[in-house]
């Protein structure tokens, strides 16, 4: 299991459809990907979960990945959410 705390950048400014694009990034990996903030935990591969989670600028998020490609998944999710 890999875990990293990040602060979300202005994803709505960087991407045309950030919720759908974030789910597409997550679905490229076999690993389980969970986003945590405060007392909420969601599956990053669920568009409804991401819509409810609504990652927005300044939000502190823990990215938790578990599986055979967890490091790559963690890096891709971080890159998307901090707009690198």
Determine the structural domain holding residue 37 and report its residue range.
2-81
Average pLDDT value for residue range 34-46? 95
Decide if 57 contacts 8 (C-beta within 8 A).
yes
Please report which confidence band the pLDDT of residue 76 belongs to, taking 50, 70 and 90 as the band edges.
very high
What pLDDT does 15 receive? Answer: 86
Per the structure, the count of domains in the chain is 1
Query: What pLDDT, in 10s, does the model give residues 44-74?
Result: 999 999 999 999 899 999 999 999 999 999 9
Which residues have a Cβ under 8 Å from the Cβ of 43 and sit 6 or more positions away? Answer: 32, 33, 34, 49
- Residue 54, domain CATH: 3.30.1340.10
């Amino acid at each position: 299991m890999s875990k990293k705390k990040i602060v979300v950048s202005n994803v709505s400014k960087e991407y045309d459809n950030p919720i759908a694009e974030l789910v597409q990034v997550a679905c490229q990996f076999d690993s389980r990907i969970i986003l945590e903030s405060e007392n909420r935990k969601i599956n990053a591969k669920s568009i409804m979960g991401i819509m409810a989670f609504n990652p927005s600028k300044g939000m502190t998020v823990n990215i938790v990945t578990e599986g055979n490609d967890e490091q790559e998944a963690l890096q891709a999710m971080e890159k998307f959410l901090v707009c690198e």
